Amino acid sequence: MQTIKKVIVHIILLALVFWWLPFSFSHHTEQEKSTDFIVEHTKDAHVAHFGGVNLYLPVILYQKGKGISLFSSRRLFNKQGHPSMYKDFKLENGRIVAMSGANVYDFSITKNVFFMFLSLVILLCLLLLFAWHYCRPTNKKVQGAAILLLALVKFIREDVARKNIGEKHYHRFTPYLLTIFCYILLNNLLGLLPGAGNVTGNISVVFVLAVGTFLMTNMNGSRYYWRHIFNPPGVPKFLFPILVPLEVLGLFIRPFTLMLRLFVNMLSGHLLLTTVIGLIFIFNNIAMAGIAIPFGVFILLLKIFVSFVQAYIFTLLSAIAMKNAVQQHEK
């Protein structure tokens, strides 16, 4: 009985995976140029498509002198779903512009922002529940899904924070490392859902994460760390004009590569997936689906692995940067 149940669950899961790749493309009309949607899927948008259902998100605009205007993004589309004009505003290449040519500041709740809020709610619920479950005095052992979270938290604390930063300082950095790890991991995985926002594949989001690491590193820098940059020990004086600017530049390059790595990895994965599925529409041939869908499923599974690896790498490199910042000179 147990085995039959397991087999049925696996078949349903597999069917879901196969069904959901074409499902995420079902909102495209035939008139569209076939290669347009490949890039469109990785971009931010004012409407979220879940298969046949469109979720119209609020638009918040600010104009100098005219103040704030707030309306649903449904008004930017006509009955046929084509972009149309509302008041003074128009959608142009996914960006809202004013017909009069004035500057418009866009503070809308776009797809990415919506999914960021969603991920925050999920994270708060999950982690607070887990913490409450874990801290209950009557509870002797952790059960159920909490085991997964416990494993992740323990892995970051022991294998990333304690092993890299060292026994003395790791307490200070563990909360930050856990925060970025959980946030990146959840957003990577959420980005794989059909119609979901590609949050970690957006360079502004990843930029803020990298700035967080940059600030955490440099605000905790020890005297030894700063002396190593501005007055490197054991280096002849005439090399200083070359070495010091290089070291200062290195301060900024490290978070920059951190940002670029996560961003390009997530974006290229999405592009690859949409391109493979897009082959069906480009060749306009149902037989292509026999090749494209299994290959797409393979890429999807690979991307689940990459999601974990990239979250781990971001946390690991942040931890190594922090180790460099707090370490003392050993004589």
Q: How many residues lie near other proteins (CB under 8 A)?
A: 12
* Residue 156 in the binding site for other proteins (CB under 8 A): no
Question: Given the rule CB under 8 A, which of 30-38, 72-80, 227-235, 256-264 is the region that contacts other proteins?
Answer: 256-264
Alpha carbon distance 118, 190 (integer Å): 9
In 3D, which of 41, 14, 31, 18 has the Cα closest to residue 274? 41
Question: Given the rule CB under 8 A, which of 96-104, 182-190, 272-280, 315-323 is the region that contacts other proteins?
Answer: 315-323
Which residues lie below 8 Å from residue 212, measured CB to CB, with a gap of 6+? 176, 180
Member of 159, 246, 249, 301 binding other proteins (CB under 8 A): 159
In 3D, which of 303, 279, 271, 282 has the Cα closest to residue 17? 303
Residue with Cβ nearer other proteins (180 or 280): 180
The tokens for 156 are 């970051």
Minimal distance in Å, beta carbon 154 to other proteins?
A: 15
Minimal distance in Å, beta carbon 265 to other proteins?
A: 8
* Residue 261 in the binding site for other proteins (CB under 8 A): yes
Cα-to-chain-centroid distance, residue 15: 26
Member of 84, 257, 285, 328 binding other proteins (CB under 8 A): 257
Residue with Cβ nearer other proteins (259 or 292): 259
Residue with Cβ nearer other proteins (121 or 253): 253
- Site residues for other proteins, 11-50, by CB under 8 A, read none
* Residue 203 in the binding site for other proteins (CB under 8 A): no
* Residue 157 in the binding site for other proteins (CB under 8 A): no
Question: Given the rule CB under 8 A, which of 19-27, 185-193, 225-233, 262-270 is the region that contacts other proteins?
Answer: 262-270
* Residue 78 in the binding site for other proteins (CB under 8 A): no
* Residue 75 in the binding site for other proteins (CB under 8 A): no
C-alpha to C-alpha distances, 60 to 47, 117, 326, nearest whole angstrom: 14, 16, 43
* Residue 316 in the binding site for other proteins (CB under 8 A): yes
Minimal distance in Å, beta carbon 210 to other proteins?
A: 13
* Residue 317 in the binding site for other proteins (CB under 8 A): yes
Member of 225, 313, 324, 327 binding other proteins (CB under 8 A): 313
* Residue 272 in the binding site for other proteins (CB under 8 A): no
* Residue 306 in the binding site for other proteins (CB under 8 A): no
Question: Given the rule CB under 8 A, which of 2-10, 105-113, 260-268, 298-306 is the region that contacts other proteins?
Answer: 260-268
Member of 98, 260, 279, 297 binding other proteins (CB under 8 A): 260
Decide if 174 contacts 158 (C-beta within 8 A). no
* Residue 133 in the binding site for other proteins (CB under 8 A): no
Member of 113, 243, 264, 279 binding other proteins (CB under 8 A): 264
Binding site for other proteins (CB under 8 A): 159, 257, 260-261, 264-265, 268, 312-313, 316-317, 320
